[in-house]
């Protein structure tokens, strides 16, 4: 890769162009990169030629074929959903986590198991702050995981806490992240294999990816305060045609078009709505709110899911065969929109797609 002042290129190509995914991974790698209210920026010029910040960014050139082989040992057969071993419905058997979490509490249950069992020393999560932007959190026990339960729909730079956690001595970490965050971590892990530096991603050994078709600008919280007044925000959900905000005083429904006005433009160029490079991916079923869709992608993911089920914390059942085409079509349509947008010169062309990958999308993926 050309090394013409990579920090300057990150600033120009990603941050100043509006293409920053706000994953937070670059924060803490460089003393000149800071975050405030979900915004990430350089506070001082950096004149380095090389730069890990540019190499690991999910919005800089990324070869998906190479990354597939790095993470899974093979290229994908399914160009819609990526590599996976199994797709299931899942829900928590822990009542408190199921009630506090979204769609059956699967993410919270997995994260809680990891810190309780000693598989991980901490989980990198996002904690809601009433009617304000959520903040990154290093959860070290079940109670701290529980305090982070529920979905956040803005682009919180959660990974900004990762480097600080590793510097504090944490060795084994679970990450819960959006697709862009998972992508950045995998890029860093690939870089770690060729580097003597003790980078943070080397300490991450379990990645829980979230489904994310788009995220919202930070201004959504000002908008929500206008809708809810001083009532404490408990949770937010976005079914297919409207948003539901639950406060201490009850529920408020919001037209989906009003929420769409806050979608971040860079999300329109995101090629991965289901966290294809995670160990497991979790998202809505778009059908039954008591269950989550659980995609087991790696052998590590399979190992952990088996342990959590055997410990009696999680139950699964086969994914309904008739609903798989609906999931695949939603993902393929999203990817086709991205390809069309990029071919028309809209958005930053960060993807390095082989002809096989592009053809696979145009032909509607494969599915299994």
Looking up residue 235, the CATH number of its domain turns out to be: 3.10.450
Among the listed ranges 66-75, 182-191, 247-256, 322-331, which one has the minimum average pLDDT value? 247-256
Q: In terms of domains, do 255 and 289 share one? A: no
Q: In terms of domains, do 334 and 349 share one? A: yes
Per-residue confidence (pLDDT) for residue 197, from 0 to 100: 45
- Check pLDDT > 90 for residue 50: no
pLDDT digits (tens, 9 = 90+) for 92-116: 999 888 888 778 899 999 999 999 9
Highest mean pLDDT: which range of 4-8, 16-20, 195-199: 16-20
Q: In terms of domains, do 171 and 224 share one? A: no
Q: In terms of domains, do 210 and 319 share one? A: yes
Averaged pLDDT, 3-13: 81
Domain with 224 in it? 220-260
Q: In terms of domains, do 234 and 327 share one? A: no
Q: In terms of domains, do 176 and 302 share one? A: yes
Q: In terms of domains, do 315 and 168 share one? A: yes
Higher-confidence residue of 68 and 45: namely 68
Supply the DSSP string of 247-302, one letter for each residue: ETTEEEEEEHHHHHTTB-GGGGG---TT-TTSSEEEEE-SS-TT-EEEEE-SHHHH
Q: Which of 203, 229, 260 is the last residue of a domain?
A: 260
Averaged pLDDT, 341-348: 68
Residues 128 and 132: their CA atoms lie apart, in Å, by: 8
In a domain, 194, yes or no: yes
Burial status of residue 43 (CB atoms within 10 A of its CB: 0-12, 13-18, 19 or more): exposed
**Do 36 and 136 meet the contact criterion of CB atoms below 8 Å apart?**
no
Q: In terms of domains, do 236 and 124 share one? A: no
The model carries a pTM of 0.91
Rounded mean pLDDT of the chain? Answer: 87
Q: In terms of domains, do 170 and 199 share one? A: yes
In a domain, 21, yes or no: no
In a domain, 91, yes or no: yes
Q: In terms of domains, do 227 and 311 share one? A: no
Q: In terms of domains, do 178 and 207 share one? A: yes
Q: In terms of domains, do 213 and 320 share one? A: yes
């Amino acid at each position: 890769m050309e090394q013409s002042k990579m920090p300057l290129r990150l600033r120009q190509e990603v941050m100043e162009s509006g293409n920053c995914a706000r994953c937070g991974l670059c924060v803490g790698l460089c003393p000149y990169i800071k975050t405030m209210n979900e915004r990430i920026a350089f506070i001082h010029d950096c004149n380095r030629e090389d730069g890990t910040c540019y190499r690991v960014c999910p919005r800089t050139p990324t070869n998906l074929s190479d990354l597939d082989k790095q993470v899974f040992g093979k290229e994908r057969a399914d160009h819609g959903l990526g590599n996976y071993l199994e797709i299931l419905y899942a829900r928590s058997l822990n009542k408190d986590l199921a009630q506090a979490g979204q769609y059956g509490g699967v993410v919270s249950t997995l994260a809680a198991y990891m810190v309780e069992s000693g598989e991980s020393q901490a989980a990198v999560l996002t904690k809601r702050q009433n009617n304000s932007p959520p903040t990154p959190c290093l959860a070290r026990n079940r109670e701290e995981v529980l305090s982070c339960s529920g979905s956040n729909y803005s682009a919180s730079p959660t990974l900004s806490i990762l480097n600080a956690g590793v510097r504090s001595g944490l060795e084994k970490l679970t990450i819960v992240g959006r697709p862009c965050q998972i992508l950045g971590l995998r890029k860093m892990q690939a870089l770690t294999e060729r580097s003597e530096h003790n980078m943070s991603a080397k300490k991450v050994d379990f990645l829980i990816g979230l489904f994310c078709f788009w995220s919202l600008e930070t201004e959504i919280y000002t908008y929500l305060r206008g809708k809810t007044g001083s009532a404490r925000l408990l949770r937010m959900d976005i079914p297919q045609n409207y948003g539901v905000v639950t406060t201490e005083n009850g529920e408020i429904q919001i037209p989906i078009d009003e929420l769409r006005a806050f979608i971040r433009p860079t999300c329109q160029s995101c090629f991965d709505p289901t966290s294809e490079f995670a160990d497991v991916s979790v998202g809505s079923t778009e059908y039954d709110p008591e269950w989550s869709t659980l995609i087991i992608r790696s052998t590590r993911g399979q190992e952990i899911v088996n342990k959590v089920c055997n410990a009696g914390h999680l139950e699964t059942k086969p994914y309904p065969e008739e609903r798989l085409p609906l999931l695949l079509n939603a993902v393929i349509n999203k990817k086709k929109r991205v390809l069309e947008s990029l071919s028309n010169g809209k958005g930053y062309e960060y993807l390095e797609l082989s002809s096989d990958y592009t053809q696979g999308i145009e032909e509607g993926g494969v599915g299994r």
